[in-house]
Structure 1
Amino acid sequence: MVEIIAPRTGTAFRLAKGQRLTVIDPEGEQVSDMVAFAQSDPREAISSGRSLDYASKLFLTTGDPIYSNCSNVMLRIVEDDVGRHDFLLTPCSKDTFRIIYGDEDPHRGCFGNLAEALAPFGIQADQIPVAFNIFMNVQIDGETGAFTVEAPKSRAGDKIVVEAQMDLIVGLTACSALQSNNYAFKPIHYSIDGEASSG
């Protein structure tokens, strides 16, 4: 069953070990921020630093694991139509829109949406890590390190599939930042498939 995340909103849910999460960009050029926490201890969360360090690359794709801050594999990418996602930038927030866009009455962004969605699972806002920003296209200058956020390379119907390597709590958004989504806000679709693994 396909679930819909409306533009500029988020959700959270449990994902059991062995289950697969498919995240779909139904219209194209829409980012989805994903965070994950261990059900057994939500202090264990996905880690950009460890995942990129162990992979020795900035862009994760099919076959790559996503590690936790405890160096355990939380998720593995098993299918990827796009091959370009970001794991450097923090979820957009009120401060993002105030500082970067100069908004006087800023939207709460993915950070606020994740905080609300994760609260029923006992996860506090200050526990939210750098997200795995699905479909986000960050271009980096190899000499200076300067970066720009470009339009996502995802087209309508493109997807990424990740498999849980432990029992997880997952937060997922339809990103709220104009620049990340080529200046339009669209929904994100997702589905959960497969049986939970024991042990």
Structure 2
Amino acid sequence: MAIIARYHVEAQTGVGFRLQQGQFLTIIDPQGEQVADLVAFGAVNTTEWLSSGRSIDYSETIYLTTGHVLYSNRSSPMFTIVEDTVGKHDFLFAACSPESFWILDGIQGYHPSCFENLEKSLGPFGITGDRLPTPFNLFMNASVLPSGQIKIAPPLSQPGSIVRLRAEMDLVVGVSACSTEACNNGTCKPIDVEISGETS
């Protein structure tokens, strides 16, 4: 496979791009303990998007890893996870937003957010913020306690940890280097993105 494109996503920023069916998307944590929020939409019709609910339902687990398929809101396969060196990710939490920083943390001033990163990155593809689904939060270490409370711990990813996904349809993809310090063991860091596949 050849490398088709690489993106270095600086801390608390995002990137949007197209991904063709059969291409591979590799999300890399270059420094360790950094979450990456991933959303995706059908390239042909962006009213089809990556669905947390469908993916969890069909996999019968909230902890998706190697071999699991990520489905759309129309129950179409969007990604297959083909390699995962960490094995612990989150598909429950919405992207952090200005409102979440205010409601959860009392932050009234400006704070970068994944919602803003994704909205800005996907705007050129005609995707507005109110259409953003729950992201697949790669490397996020969230666990559901017996009480039902969700506990966030530092990511298990080490420098160079990866998740590699195969696109099962043509997609528009957004990736944000998570902007919430508490999800990244206190420090927001960059994320690397690599697209690979056969070249003509």
TM-score, structure 2 as length reference: 0.95
Aligned positions, number: 196
Structure 1 position 165, deviation (Å): 0.2
**1:7 counterpart residue number:** 11
Residues 49-84 of structure 1 show CA distances to partners (whole Å, capped at 9, x for unaligned) of 010001110100001000000000000100000000
Q: Is the 8 A contact 2:12 2:112 kept in 1?
A: no
Q: Tell me, yes or no, if structure 1 residue 17 matches structure 2 residue 6.
A: no
Q: 1:163 aligns with which of 155, 161, 166?
A: 166
> Percent of aligned positions with the same letter in both sequences?
46
**Contact 2:78-2:169 within 8 A present in 1 as well:** yes
SS at match of 1:2: strand
Q: How many angstroms does 1:102 deviate by?
A: 1.2
What CA distance in whole angstroms lies between the structure 2 residues aligned with 1:136 and 1:50? 19
Any residues of structure 2 matched to 1:2-151 within 5 Å, and which?
A: 2-141=6-145, 143-151=146-154
Unaligned runs of 5+ in 2: none
> Take 2:97 and 2:130, find their aligned partners in 1: how far apart are those partners?
13
User: Which residues of structure 1 form unaligned runs of 5+?
Assistant: none
Q: Secondary structure at the match of 1:74?
A: strand
TM superposition shift of 1:185:
1.0
Equivalent in the alignment of 1:152:
155
Of stretches 103-112 and 145-154 in structure 1, the one that deviates more from structure 2 is 103-112
Match for 1:186: what amino acid? K
Moved over 3 A (4+): none
Structure 2 SS opposite 1:63? coil
Q: CA deviation at 1:147?
A: 1.1
2:172 is equivalent to residue 173 of structure 1:
no
How far apart are residue 3 of structure 1 and its match? 1.9
Normalising by structure 1, report the TM-score.
0.96
Contact 1:97 1:106 in 2 (8 A): no
Q: Say whether the 8 Å CA contact 1:98–1:106 is kept in structure 2.
A: no
How many Å apart are 1:195 and its aligned residue?
Answer: 2.8
Which residue is 1:193 aligned to?
196
Secondary structure in structure 2 of the residue aligned to 1:82: coil
